[in-house]
Structure 1
Amino acid sequence: MKLWSGTINKSLLSNLIAVFLIVLGTVLPAPYARFAFDTGLFSLSGGLTNWLAVHMLFERVPGLYGSGVVQIRFEEFKLGIRALIIEQFFEKADLTAFFSEGKASSELFRSRLNEILGELDLDNAFDSLVDVIMASSFGNMISMIGGKDALGPLKVPFSNKMRDYFQSAFADPDLLDKIKSQLSNGLSDDTIREKVASIIDQRLDQLTPQMVKEIVQTMIHKHLGWLVVWGCAFGGVIGFAVSILRMG
């Protein structure tokens, strides 16, 4: 399985400490050996379990129900993005009036399109994605690090990354020429909307589940890394308590 570079420090360190306690438990004299071994074993179990859960949030694991929730719910996410772009594409600027005034040029159109994409309100897209994650089987685990409130600071970076992607994706001169051609043909508003929506759909089809997964994973991997740390910590406490009970 893949370890993410951003979480490897605290995640790997936590698990290594747990392994060290297990090894220590094999060399210490009684009764200390039992405390070290049980604490390390339960700690490692908790850390690896949470690490697997974080991995399953983004990757589909055959036979494990609920894994890959970000990719499974990708189509819902993309439909929301599509509606958002089309709505703001036609509401934030009167493009038909813009072209009817005879000012249409590739540079002006590029500037206007970049302006529209730059003003996309992606807060709702982020909120819906967080809702999907929190409603999944991993919602309770994410609640351990503060739930939605803990992920809130990621809204702006997420929106910026998605906005940069769309500005890059829609900057293709051929795409701009297609949209400009449809808008300058003197068609009805409904026809223009239908044709431009079709062109936008073609570009959004290039947004794959893997792209969304990488964007989201990059944004929140540091926060989710704490799940591994807390898994080790809680597991260690349970293991230590078990050792005490055995002593009794």
Structure 2
Amino acid sequence: MKLNKGFMTNLIAAALVGVSFFIDETVADLFLYTGLFALSGALTNQLAIHMLFEKVPLLYGSGVIPARFEAFKESIKNLMMSQFFTKEQLEYFFKNEEKKIELTPIIEATDFSPAFDALSKTVMESSFGGMLGMFGGESVLENLREPFSQKMKSAVIKIVQSETFNYTLQKHLQNSTLSDDMMKSIEDIIEIRLNELTPVMVKDIVQKLIKEHLSWLVVWGGVFGGAIGLISSFLL
């Protein structure tokens, strides 16, 4: 069973608050302020992570990743056109007697950094970005680059391996010649198939990665909050 860092941080902070009501008054404030500030810091960071994916009533900027999905999908389309369907690739196709494009090996070798950069920009422009600034800013997200790329490769491979996509693409290529119009047609096909990449799918991929790799931010929120509370207990 995997330990939930955020839950444990909140539990410890709440326990400190609870203990403060049952101990000697001389140290009660120390426990109370430490627990309250720790709970506040942890919950604030947890809420910021939650707000990346879910729309929270009356909180401006929440649900930013689903809201920016179209821009994110556009970056995927541009990536596919610039990496998978270059004129060089298509020229090779027309010289190939079998006239068949195998996209999976190309996708496996493709750098998905542009898609990750689009995601990173979205995160940094959200309310979560301010919190990340306290812990190193955009560089903190670099830990997500590789797992994100692998997840997106799997999602895109699943799309291009679908029978509908392959049938439409191969049929179009078999009856076309290399031209700008054909490039536009391929782009249209990709755009149609990318509609399978729903906001929910992207949200699930990114949400799981961020919660898995950045959950320690909730812990640090609790630690720093607790430290401030501890200091405050001596000053107030």
Q: 1:193 pairs with 173, 180, 183, which one?
A: 183
Structure 1 stretches of 4+ with a deviation exceeding 4 A read none
1:226–1:97 CA distance, 2 compared to 1 (3 A): closer
Distance in 1, Cα, partners of 2:85 & 2:8 = 51
Distance in 2, Cα, partners of 1:17 & 1:40 = 8
List runs of 5+ in structure 1 lacking aligned partners. none
CA contact (8 A) 1:21 1:37 kept: yes
Q: Deviations over 1:46-98 (max 9, x none)?
A: 21122111111111112110111111111111111111101222227533552
- In the TM superposition, 1:68-217 aligns within 5 A as 68-91=63-86, 93-99=88-94, 101-104=96-99, 108-109=100-101, 112-217=102-207
Q: Which amino acid aligns with 1:173?
A: E
Tell me which residue corresponds to 1:227: 217
Distance in 1, Cα, partners of 2:58 & 2:103 = 45
Q: Which amino acid aligns with 1:136?
A: S
Post-superposition offset of 1:113 = 1.7
Provide the aligned length of Structure 1 versus Structure 2. 236
CA contact (8 A) 2:5 2:216 kept: yes
Distance in 2, Cα, partners of 1:240 & 1:35 = 6
**Identity of aligned pairs, percent?**
43
Distance in 2, Cα, partners of 1:242 & 1:128 = 41
* Residue 40 (structure 2) pairs with residue 45 (structure 1): yes
List runs of 5+ in structure 2 lacking aligned partners. none
Superposed CA RMSD: 2.0
Distance in 1, Cα, partners of 2:109 & 2:86 = 11
Distance in 2, Cα, partners of 1:180 & 1:223 = 40
Distance in 2, Cα, partners of 1:244 & 1:228 = 25
CA contact (8 A) 1:39 1:240 kept: yes
SS of residue in 2 equivalent to 1:160 = helix
CA contact (8 A) 1:46 1:235 kept: yes
Q: Deviations over 1:158-188 (max 9, x none)?
A: 1111011111111012321211111111345
